[in-house]
Amino acid sequence: MTKQNLLRAMGSTMDFGADRFHNKLVVSAVDDDSSKMDAITAEHITKYYNSRHIINDVSLRIRSGSFTSFIGPSGCGKSTLLRMLANLETPSSGEIKWWGVDKRIIGSPGRRISMVFQEPTLMPWATVLQNIALPLQLQGVSRNETKEAVIKALELVRLQNKEALYPRQLSGGMKMRVSIARALVTDPNILVMDEPFGALDEITRNQLNDDVLRLQHELDMTVIFVTHSIQEAVFVSSELVILRENPGSIAASFTIDKPAELWNSSDEYRISDHYFTMVKEVTQAFKKAY
């Protein structure tokens, strides 16, 4: 496996052929006020696998700093769409821009994307520390810098002192935390998460939902998320998109405003009328789409 493919398998999604463009592009883009800029815009994107039509005419804007979730039944094209938004896959037609520029900007400072997959995809022969360090090592980052970044990433996912353990010694929730730390170690501005907590029990999933919201806030990230659970989507999202199937396209989208008084307590938010009303509204729209 080449370095590039290994990096991609771990969710590091910069465009490897285009480093030479970065300096030129960064100057113009980073000068902009990125908080006002859309992180991603997709216009009329379609995707075919051979002759199978998987995604049809999807246009969307992912605001910088937003938390956008996609929900839809198995096979409707969620992962395919996510991979295109993360630049791991190219649309058959249509255009995607990142921070108003094309894919050449991805990977430059302030313009990084990482992906977390449904399976933690950890290397079984490597310790927690080595797993998290791998994307940086493959990018040729120095030992000292790598160690510093790994320690910070471990703190962010609340796994201090677990660096010497091997994946087989971790619970499912801990493995997912390591996978998130590995995505965070490259300091992403956009974190793309494909059904990251689908295999976890409800208590662990709720904890990780809280953690991801905290990380998004602390690290000032834009998050794109896929889940099968309407409850989870409503809980974490500021924007929620329902996809219909055959081929995958947008059926409905929602903006979810969390009242300020509920921001500080996720437990209260989970049992609030505001939350239940949104869950009901999205459930009704979901039923209409299928």
Ligand X SMILES: Nc1ncnc2c1ncn2[C@@H]1O[C@H](COP(=O)(O)OP(=O)(O)OP(=O)(O)O)[C@@H](O)[C@H]1O
Q: Which residues pair with 223 in a beta bridge?
A: 67, 191
Q: Binders of ligand X among 33-52, rule CB under 6 A?
A: 49
One-letter amino acid for residue 27 of the chain:
V
Distance CA 290, CA 288 (A): 6
Q: Is 78 in the site for ligand X (CB under 6 A)?
A: yes
- Least distance to Mg ion from the beta carbon of 199, Å? 13
The b-or-e profile of 128-161 (16+ CB within 10 A means b, else e) is bbbbbbbbbeeeebeeeebeebbeebbebbebee
Within 8 A by CB and 6+ apart from 169, the residues are none
Nearer to ligand X, 58 or 76 (CB): 76
Q: Binders of Mg ion among 63-82, rule CB under 5 A?
A: 78-79
Nearer to Mg ion, 78 or 104 (CB): 78
Look at residue 113 and give the partner it binds from ligand X, Mg ion, none, a contact being a CB closer than 5 to 8 Å depending on partner kind. Answer: none
Distance CA 39, CA 101 (A): 10
Q: Which listed range, 78-86, 127-135, 203-211, 212-220, lies at the site for ligand X (CB under 6 A)?
A: 78-86
Distance CA 203, CA 207 (A): 6
Look at residue 23 and give the partner it binds from ligand X, Mg ion, none, a contact being a CB closer than 5 to 8 Å depending on partner kind. Answer: none
- Least distance to Mg ion from the beta carbon of 23, Å? 36
Distance set, CA 80 to CA 53, 84, 88, 188, 251 (Å): 11, 6, 9, 20, 17
Distance CA 101, CA 88 (A): 17
Q: Which listed range, 10-18, 28-36, 76-84, 173-181, lies at the site for ligand X (CB under 6 A)?
A: 76-84
Residue choice 80, 108, 189, 222 for contact with ligand X (CB under 6 A): 80
Residue choice 39, 54, 84, 115 for contact with ligand X (CB under 6 A): 54
Look at residue 49 and give the partner it binds from ligand X, Mg ion, none, a contact being a CB closer than 5 to 8 Å depending on partner kind. Answer: ligand X
Q: Which residues bind ligand X (CB under 6 A)?
A: 49, 54, 72, 74-80
Q: Which residues bind Mg ion (CB under 5 A)?
A: 78-79
